[in-house]
Amino acid sequence: MKILFVADRLETFKIEKDTTFAMMRECHRRGMEVFACEVQDLFWRSGGVVQARASRLSLQSPVKAQWFTVIDTQDHALKDFAAVLMRKDPPFDVEYFYATHLLEHASKEGAKVFNDPVALRDHPEKLAILNFPHLISPTLVTKNAQHLKAFHEEHQDIILKPLDGMGGKGIYRVKSDALNLGSLIETLNMDGQQTVMAQRFIADIKHGDKRILLIDGKAVPFSLARIPQGSEVRGNLAAGGLGVAQALTPRDWDIANELGPVLKARGLFLVGLDVIGELLTEINVTSPTCFQEITDQTGFDVASEFMDALVRNVHSRNA
């Protein structure tokens, strides 16, 4: 079985925690052929099909700093792979947008792409929560500075965030004193040119921003609570948060069981729900992470669970 990963440069992987690496390692363990390419390696030519200039990899065992060897690099039709996994990290910029169109065309040619390219376009990670307003904190999405100031006046303690960030970048808390509110709004909305999200601050962040993984519509039974450290308000691991795996709470299960079948039906095979306290804050669909942290702390092999579900899905499509 040949699996293609559309991802960032392999040399940039932090293999001690990278989820795409965990997926590749599980493929290798199962004797599958692992291929990798970057977004810029996708192409289409008149009279042909969508292809990728992809490298076939050999993974080192045991894992070393140089964890892969390129066996060969050739052009391959995407429809010839058993599965194509879109694992390019955000930002969701115009080049990512174009890539989803190429992947959508490949899907029409018979390629099996996970997550579905149309679903990736239709579910921007910050805005997807608007489909489930009963699960979220009071939220405002706007370019308008006066709207943002009025939202703060109403709720007193708020979070401001850009719509295209990842890893906690550009997230600010503004308390009741409104310190630097005007300056932060100007910075984030670029004087009215860029859309910003504001949310009422959720005090339960002190217990962690929980990442709940959905695989083929079903929840992994453990989340990774990313707990802010020191005076930091962000729990993101990239911002220094401490990752603590824990069993899903009854409320976590309620949210996961409600969203799982809905998102699966929309073509989202792997999803990372972010939950603070009892409220949904983000729906991550581009390259959800935390496989290794959950596995290392609980013994639940997330990568194996993912690959079992992927193989079942591929076989069902071929039936």
Nearby residues of 159 by Cβ (< 8 Å), 6 or more positions away: 171, 172, 173, 174, 198, 199, 200, 201, 233
Average pLDDT over residues 234-242: 74
Tell how strand 139-142 and strand 51-59 pair up. Answer: unpaired
pLDDT of residue 64: 73
Token output for 37: 């390419």
Task: Check 112, 161, 200, 210 and give the catalytic one.
Answer: 161
Task: Check 216, 282, 293, 305 and give the catalytic one.
Answer: 282
Q: Could you tell me if 30 and 82 are in contact, meaning their C-beta atoms sit under 8 angstroms apart?
A: no
Q: Reply yes or no on whether the pLDDT at 73 is more than 80.
A: yes
The DSSP letter of residue 92 is -
Residue type, position 270, single letter: L
Residues facing residue 274 across a β-bridge: 211, 282
pLDDT of residue 319: 74
CATH superfamily of this structure's domain 204-309:
ATP-grasp fold, B domain (3.30.470.20)
Q: Find the helix or strand (DSSP H, E) in which 91 lies.
A: none
Active site residue 274: yes
Task: Check 226, 236, 252, 293 and give the catalytic one.
Answer: 226
Report residue 85's pLDDT band, with 50, 70 and 90 as the boundaries.
Answer: very high
Q: Reply yes or no on whether the pLDDT at 237 is more than 80.
A: no
pLDDT tens column, 36-64: 999 999 999 999 999 999 999 999 877 77
Q: Reply yes or no on whether the pLDDT at 106 is more than 80.
A: yes
Active site residue 226: yes
Q: Could you tell me if 256 and 280 are in contact, meaning their C-beta atoms sit under 8 angstroms apart?
A: no
Q: Could you tell me if 194 and 162 are in contact, meaning their C-beta atoms sit under 8 angstroms apart?
A: yes
Q: Reply yes or no on whether the pLDDT at 148 is more than 90.
A: yes
Task: Check 126, 200, 209, 252 and give the catalytic one.
Answer: 126
Task: Check 87, 112, 210, 234 and give the catalytic one.
Answer: 234
Q: How much is the pTM?
A: 0.94
Active site residue 301: no
Nearby residues of 256 by Cβ (< 8 Å), 6 or more positions away: 212, 214, 219, 248, 273
CB-based burial of residue 133 (10 Å sphere; 0-12 exposed, 13-18 middle, 19+ buried)? exposed
Q: Reply yes or no on whether the pLDDT at 18 is more than 90.
A: yes
Task: Check 26, 216, 284, 293 and give the catalytic one.
Answer: 284
| Domain boundaries for CATH 3.30.1490.20 within the chain | 138-201
| Domain boundaries for CATH 3.40.50.20 within the chain | 2-115
Task: Check 38, 211, 216, 252 and give the catalytic one.
Answer: 211
Task: Name the residue with higher pLDDT: 92 or 184.
Answer: 184
CA distances from 130 to 32, 228, 246, 278, 308 (A): 39, 25, 27, 16, 31
Cα–Cα dist 232/239, whole Å: 8
pLDDT of residue 239: 65
Q: Reply yes or no on whether the pLDDT at 98 is more than 80.
A: yes
User: What is the CATH architecture of 2-115?
Assistant: 3-Layer(aba) Sandwich (3.40)
Where does the chain have alpha helices with state H?
Answer: 19-29, 94-108, 117-122, 145-155, 181-189, 250-265, 291-298, 302-318
Mean pLDDT, the chain, integer? 94
pLDDT of residue 165: 73
Cα–Cα dist 221/87, whole Å: 23
Active site residue 126: yes
**138-201 maps to which CATH number?**
3.30.1490.20
| Domain boundaries for CATH 3.30.470.20 within the chain | 204-309
